[in-house]
Amino acid sequence: MQVTEVRITLRDEPKLKAFANITFDDSFVIRGLKIINGQKGFFVSMPSRKRIDGSFQDIVHPVSVDLRKHIEDKVLEAFDRKMKEII
């Protein structure tokens, strides 16, 4: 499965730095990934919904560690490129 497109929409909030949409094989899109500025740097949060008890549950998430890393790498690379465009 190849990442064929990553779209970044920047945000100017203390923790939320951008939203991302990622396309696989020009056939499947995941919308609503978040790029968060955490204590250890930037990370990618999967799309989620708020549960009745106030906790959040991922709507979409990779099952394997390798796929999660691949997605994070591609999204953060695109985020880095987008940030360099505005400097």
pLDDT the model gives residue 45:
95
* Owner of token pair 């890393």: 69
Tokens of 36: 């968060």
Q: Please give the span between the terminal C-alpha atoms of the chain, in angstroms, as a whole number.
A: 33
Question: Contact, 6 vs 82, CB < 8 A?
Answer: no
Phi, psi of 51 (to 5 degrees): -85, 170
For the chain, which domains are there?
Answer: 3-82 (3.30.1120.40)
Kindly state the percentage of the chain with pLDDT values over 70: 100
Handedness of CA 13, 16, 17, 22 (dihedral sign): negative
Residues 28-65: tens digit of each pLDDT: 999 999 999 999 999 999 999 999 999 999 999 999 99
pTM of the model: 0.90
